[in-house]
Amino acid sequence: MSSRLEQITAGENPAKTHTVALVEDDRSNAELLSISINQCSRLKVAAIYLTAEEALRDLPKVRPEVVLMDIQLPGMDGIQCVRELRSLTPRLSARILMLTGYEDYDALFESLKAGAHGYLLKEDTSTEALRAAIVEVIRRGAPFSPGVAQRVIGFFHALGLAAGSETLGSTGSPAHLSAREEQFLELLVVGLSYKQIADRLAVSIDSTRKHLQSIYRKLHINSRSEATFHWLSRRRSGASSNYIKM
C-alpha cells in the first residue's frame, strides 16, 4: 500500500523539490526536524530561525514554499509572527503550517485567524505525516492533526455553524445583543485588548469587562475564539458590521 505522501504527490515530477523554512526556538529539535524533512527527496529545508524576529527579517529573501511555525518563541510569539508575515509587502506567498505543542482552542483559532493554513501537534505527528502535511499544504490543502480536526468540527457544531447542528445557531431564537454589546463584540473579534476596547468606546476597563462577561453569558461562550465564531455565524446570516470588513 502506498504512503500518504506518495498518494499526494502522484503524477508530480519526481525531480521537483519543495523548500521549507523552520521557525523553532529549540535548536536541537529544529535540527532533528531538518534532518527528517531533508531525508525526503522531494523536500529541502532552506532556513532555520530560532526567533520570530529573525524569520521576519529573512523570509522575504528566502521565500520558501512552506513555513513550519512554532507558537512558543522568545520575544514575539508564533501567532503574531504569522500576522506580521501575512501583512508583508510584497506579499509572502509561503503557506504557513503551525507545528506546536499547544492544543487549546485559543491557540488553534487565533492561529487560523492570523492566516495559518494548517495546525499540527508535535506529539501526534510522525515524520511521514509531517512530510505528507508539508506537501499537502503546498497543494492548497489544510492539514490538521486528527485531534485538532475533531476540535474544529466540534466547534462548528457547538456554535451551530454545521448543517444539522442542534445548537444556538440552528434552533431556537438567537441570543439578542444590544447595539452597544454588538460594538464590544466586534472590537473583541478584531483582536483589541480590554484596554484598547475601553479607550475606543470611552469607558472604563471595568465597564468593558462587565459588558463582555454579559455577552459571554448571553451567547453561552467562554473565550475570544468562540466569540469570533459566533460573529462569523451572524455574518453568514447577513448581519452588518461597523468595524470589520470581510
Nearest to 45 by CA among 62, 28, 61, 58: 62
Residue 162, pLDDT > 80, answer: no
Lowest mean pLDDT among 23-37, 143-157, 209-223: 143-157
Instruction: Report the DSSP beta bridge partners of residue 20.
Output: 45, 66
String of b and e for 78-112 (b: at least 16 CB within 10 Å)? bbbbbbbbeeeeeebebbbbbbbebbebebbbbbb
Name, in order, each residue with C-beta under 8 angstroms of 228's C-beta and a sequence gap of 6 or more.
109, 113, 189
Q: Which of 4, 5, 31, 22 is nearest to 99 (CA)?
A: 22
CB 168 within 8 A of CB 174: yes
Residues 67-98: tens digit of each pLDDT? 999 999 999 999 999 999 999 999 999 999 99
> For residue 187, with 0-12 CB atoms within 10 Å meaning exposed, 13-18 middle and 19 or more buried, which class applies?
buried
pTM: 0.67
Q: Domains of the chain (ranges plus CATH)?
A: 4-154 (3.40.50.2300), 164-236 (1.10.10.10)
More confident residue, 219 or 159: 219
Question: Which one has a higher pLDDT value, 1 or 244?
Answer: 244
At 201-211, the pLDDT tens digits run 999 999 999 99
Residue 3: per-residue pLDDT: 59
Name all contacts of 234-243 with Cβ < 8 Å and 24+ positions apart.
234/174, 236/161, 241/186, 242/182, 242/183, 242/186, 243/183, 243/186, 243/187, 243/190
